[in-house]
Structure 1
């Protein structure tokens, strides 16, 4: 049994780099746990606080009227993976005040009897690019996959990710962890922990006081810490030419 949806998830996110310079930071933020077939639609006067758009996810080209489930199905077909015929729950951030930034979205994909079949970990960078890692976790929610996507200017695309992506439990506990292993270097780690709470209208209003404009602040924090690392002399790896279309965070 997993956490109810839709839910607001108040999170604590921690990043740690140990080489070639030590740098760690933690912050609180807000994300949502949703059913991709039943995305929340807030009352008209509150939609600025959370708006879910299908074309904010998956790298394939979109078309008008396409649903998030349709985009997920198209991505699985594009990578040659079996179709998913059951429920899909997702941990992701909506647009807030017209802007979205999802450093990591996680999709838990089930079959029609409720068994977890696969997990899609979708990574976005600050350049507007996105990439999906399709993994098949073990019973503890653990999986490994080669890095294939340029995320940070301070890391190239070498290395291998160790992921821990167990499903949120019935108590609403959310735990996601990623470690990037590269030869001869200590791992770079990122963790997300949080607690899911029902997404009532009152809770959405309260969230804007507790974690206002969450995606704006996440993008700002990443840039601030990037400047700090650059100022400490960390080597910058040139960004490769994008191989898939990129998206902008602002409303077109």
Structure 2
């Protein structure tokens, strides 16, 4: 079960369902004054990870990563973490070196996937060290970026690793068609029923949304019939009580 603060969740869910997009899993990280959301999503073209950064003032930045790109990013996070640790061990910050880098960059790498490029730069400024991740698309495409405080790189990497272990690094299209998402309103609550799949099989994610708060459970496909029978039993007993009154 997972809890997460949401902004305009009902509207976002409706838009996602209209585009055939399903949310399979999410992780929320609080690093210094920022919140990061790591969402595994699936559409007709396959799975991908959306990373959203929300700053202290509510400003949002987003990156989209194919599963294979997310795996490469995870591996680089380990390298950047080790480099960051070595800087502290050797006390080699730009302010203490004879020839500090003019742009504040301490280490840089790049990921190329199809028509997208991701630039990873470990940098330092007056507020401290951080990893800036920029996504660009050639020919004047939009540019987006997030900044992860250096102290949170391990936590970010571990959360990303959990999602990749669960949902794999395959960019290929899902092998089988899954049922479309459903939703229903009950008084002041919304319930969303989303079917997804991972290495362990097909499952249903049932989300309860109320105000800006969501709780979800995951039910493996092999348990759907038992889950249905249990609900039917409660419905039958409730109906008999109402009939006897």
Larger radius of gyration: 2
TM-score, normalised with respect to structure 1: 0.25
Q: Which has the higher contact order (CA 8 A, sep 6+)?
A: 1
TM-score, normalised with respect to structure 2: 0.26
- Which is strand-richer, 1 or 2? 2
- Which is helix-richer, 1 or 2? 2
